[in-house]
Amino acid sequence: MFAVALALAGGAAPAAASADEVVICFNYGCKERTLVQFSPLQLGQVQGQFVEVDSPAAERAAIARAVAWLYFYAGMQSPIWRDRGGNFDDDDTQPGRMDCIDHSTNTTAYLHLIERRGWLKFHGTGERVLRGRMLNDHWAARVVERGSKDEWVVDSWFLDPGLPAAVFPLQAWLDGAGPRVDARRRAAL
């Protein structure tokens, strides 16, 4: 529990406090942290995304949906339900907004939880990845395909929490790939 207390006080976040807990962060740059706990019913919903997975591509689609469910459930326990995709529509007067640092950190924590529970057959969780430089940088979570060692980005920042994360081959993402978003949000990217 000392690691959880340290994380909540602003120290380094542990990957998770237990099999059903994750420390998440928000308010841009992980300025705030909180512990979220997932019930057996909630974890069953997440696990259900992986039941019929029979290929790496199907598992990546399941990962995108599972991340959405975990954000949805975390939003029930924290102010992150206020976050909006990208940064353009975030309300700076309310807690819970997340930038790509928050999203990549949280999504990586969710991926570690999924992996610890044994639900990934074809991928492992990698380190977060950065594209761009200085004021145009962007972070995302990463998974690595076990057989081919192909790397994939799991990017939950583009869309509102509770919607499936965008998944791209690492090189395509590094080259600027992102989901289609409306013109206002594209200008803010």
pLDDT digits (tens, 9 = 90+) for 11-27: 444 443 456 999 999 99
In this structure, the chain runs to a length of 189
* Whole-number pLDDT of residue 58: 98
* Whole-number pLDDT of residue 183: 39
pLDDT above 90 (res 100)? yes
Give the tens place of pLDDT for each residue, 120-133: 999 999 999 999 87
* Whole-number pLDDT of residue 33: 97
Read off the tokens for 165. Answer: 């994360």
Read off the tokens for 9. Answer: 């006080």
Read off the tokens for 40. Answer: 């057996």
Give the tens place of pLDDT for each residue, 126-156: 999 999 876 779 999 999 999 999 999 999 9
* Whole-number pLDDT of residue 186: 38
Give the tens place of pLDDT for each residue, 31-46: 999 999 999 999 999 9
pLDDT above 70 (res 54)? yes
How much is the pTM? 0.85
